[in-house]
Structure 1
Amino acid sequence: MTLSYQVTGDGPAVLLVHAGVCDSRMWARQVEDLRTDHRVITLDLRGFGRTPLEAGAKYADAGDVLGLLDELGVEETKVVGASYGGYVALQAASRQPERFSRLVLLSPPADDVVPTDDFRDFAAEEDRLLEAGDLDGATELNVRTSLGPEADDEARELVRVMQKHAFEVQLAAGDVDNDEWEVGGITAPVKLFTGAHELRFFAACAEHLSNILPAVEHTELPWAGHLPSLERPDETTALIRAALG
């Protein structure tokens, strides 16, 4: 499998891994800024954006990420991951901790965290809509849930397009085997951001990660939902820059 990816700019490497409701397009504003002094790598995981997903595929998203770094000859990188992309980054850094010098994670999920009531309600409604074949309804549910009050119409439409495409590709592929790796052994500093306007589950995940990882700093953004890089792009870019060091 060859992932769709882009590399731009010169300087120390930074890898951006997208959320599960998005694809690499979510990082456009951050890439524009970071490329001035970084080698910026963006990618589409399988079933997102321009990367296909074969029926019955057996793979690991974190393994795909490490394989891409091998292909590009990147021995060390910083990584920024949003939501599911943060979870993938944690898995990759757990498998090869020496390769990741810093992790900046925007509301990543975590294993061993009991789902909150609002998360259970969301998941149940998404399942109901998808089982009914209502992709538009499931897409709108994710747009409403993922974006906080600061998001404008352009951001909402972008998430709508990205999520609808991901649903179409993934449902067409049917059952696949995406191996998830255990998180642990990370030695790099980790900066966590969560939003005050997102599902409470992600704050619980941040608390859990703060307890199991050795060097974590967590900040809650009072204005943010689940996708701050699309809600206040410039402010989030500045936060990411500061967190990258």
Structure 2
Amino acid sequence: MTITHEVAGAGPAVVLLHSSVCDRRMWDGQWDALREAGYRVVRCDFRGFGETPCADRPYDNVTDLVELLDELGIERAALVGASFGGRIALQFAALHPARVGSLTLLCPGRPGHEASAELEALDELEVGLVESGRLDEAVELMVDTWLGPDADEDARALVRAMQRNAYEVQLAPEVEISPTPVEVDLANVVAPTLVYSGAHDVPDFRRIPVELAELLPDAEHRELPWAGHLPALERPAQTAELLLAHLASVAAR
């Protein structure tokens, strides 16, 4: 299966990996800037998000990403991952280090992270709302939790649309097939890595970037004092500048 994707521009490949409350549309604010800067930009919808349906057989997201890059003829790429997409980027980089030129991680998840009681309670609340059919309440919970104070109404409306779509896509199949767990050793992630956290994010995602900077062989952590969990939506133009700056710094190395 080929996951839904878009490609634009020419030059070194940059692959944008979305959060689990979003889909590939979360990168609208960075798409043109990256393309105009001379990059071949790729963004995709993972299974159960955006325009990609849920799986009908066992799968894992890293293999899906490998197959997508192979189909596009991309041997090596810079990966940009937000939250859930950041975790997939780390797994990919650990399993295929020669294929990753750099990592830029925005409030990423971490393979093997044990969720705090607070994060587990949030997950239980969301699942309870979804299972009882209260999708509007679940959507608003996600919007209020994951967007920081700088998010405008356009950003909130887009997250509402993306999250509502994800619920509807994921509720459609009669049988739920979860992704196969992917075990990795983060010591194998050798790409230059810049990890951002948001000062207004939930505690788990403020801790993970600090931990990654200590665990990865070539990583730096920076906190964004204005950001919540989704800086690409909260300050799109500034986030584009951050991505371009890291890509340029890696190229200069």
TM-score by length of 1: 0.96
Assess if the C-alpha contact under 8 Å between 2:86 and 2:110 holds in 1: no
Tell me by how many angstroms 1:139 deviates: 0.9
Aligned equivalent of 1:216? 219
Assess if the C-alpha contact under 8 Å between 1:113 and 1:208 holds in 2: no
> Are 1:193 and 2:196 matched, yes or no?
yes
Aligned equivalent of 2:30? 30
- Partners of 1:127 and 1:74 lie apart in 2 by 37
**Does the C-alpha gap of structure 1 residues 54 and 66 become closer, same or farther in structure 2, counting only changes over 3 Å?**
closer
Runs of 4+ in 1 over 4 A off after TM superposition: none
Q: Which of 218, 222, 231 lines up with 1:228 in the alignment?
A: 231
Assess if the C-alpha contact under 8 Å between 1:190 and 1:215 holds in 2: yes
Superposed CA RMSD in Å reads 1.3
Aligned equivalent of 1:39? 40
- Partners of 1:150 and 1:81 lie apart in 2 by 20
Tell me by how many angstroms 1:117 deviates: 4.0
Tell me by how many angstroms 1:161 deviates: 0.4
- Partners of 1:97 and 1:114 lie apart in 2 by 25
CA deviations over 1:165-204 (Å, ceiling 9, x no partner): 1011112234213023223211111110110111110122
Aligned equivalent of 2:168? 168
Aligned equivalent of 1:151? 151
Aligned equivalent of 1:109? 109
Aligned equivalent of 1:60? 60
Q: Which AA in structure 1 matches 2:168?
A: E
Aligned equivalent of 2:251? none
- Partners of 1:112 and 1:74 lie apart in 2 by 28
CA deviations over 1:84-116 (Å, ceiling 9, x no partner): 001111111111100001000011111343323
Aligned equivalent of 2:2? 2
Assess if the C-alpha contact under 8 Å between 1:147 and 1:231 holds in 2: yes
Tell me by how many angstroms 1:228 deviates: 0.4
Q: Which AA in structure 1 matches 2:241?
A: A
Q: Which AA in structure 2 matches 1:51?
A: T
Aligned equivalent of 1:49? 50
Count of residue pairs the alignment pairs up: 244
Assess if the C-alpha contact under 8 Å between 2:48 and 2:54 holds in 1: yes
Structure 1 unaligned runs (5+)? none
Tell me by how many angstroms 1:208 deviates: 2.2
Q: Which AA in structure 2 matches 1:207?
A: V
- Partners of 1:240 and 1:122 lie apart in 2 by 30
- Partners of 2:55 and 2:241 lie apart in 1 by 38
- Partners of 1:114 and 1:54 lie apart in 2 by 26
Report % sequence identity: 46
Tell me by how many angstroms 1:34 deviates: 0.4
Worse-matched range after superposition: 4-13 or 180-189: 180-189
Tell me by how many angstroms 1:119 deviates: 1.6
SS class of match (1:214) = coil
Aligned ranges for residues 66-145 of structure 1 at < 5 Å? 66-145=66-145
- Partners of 1:242 and 1:225 lie apart in 2 by 21
TM-score by length of 2: 0.93
**Does the C-alpha gap of structure 1 residues 186 and 50 become closer, same or farther in structure 2, counting only changes over 3 Å?**
same
Tell me by how many angstroms 1:59 deviates: 0.5
Q: Which AA in structure 2 matches 1:127?
A: V
SS class of match (2:172) = helix
Structure 2 unaligned runs (5+)? 249-253
- Partners of 1:238 and 1:115 lie apart in 2 by 31
- Partners of 2:156 and 2:21 lie apart in 1 by 11
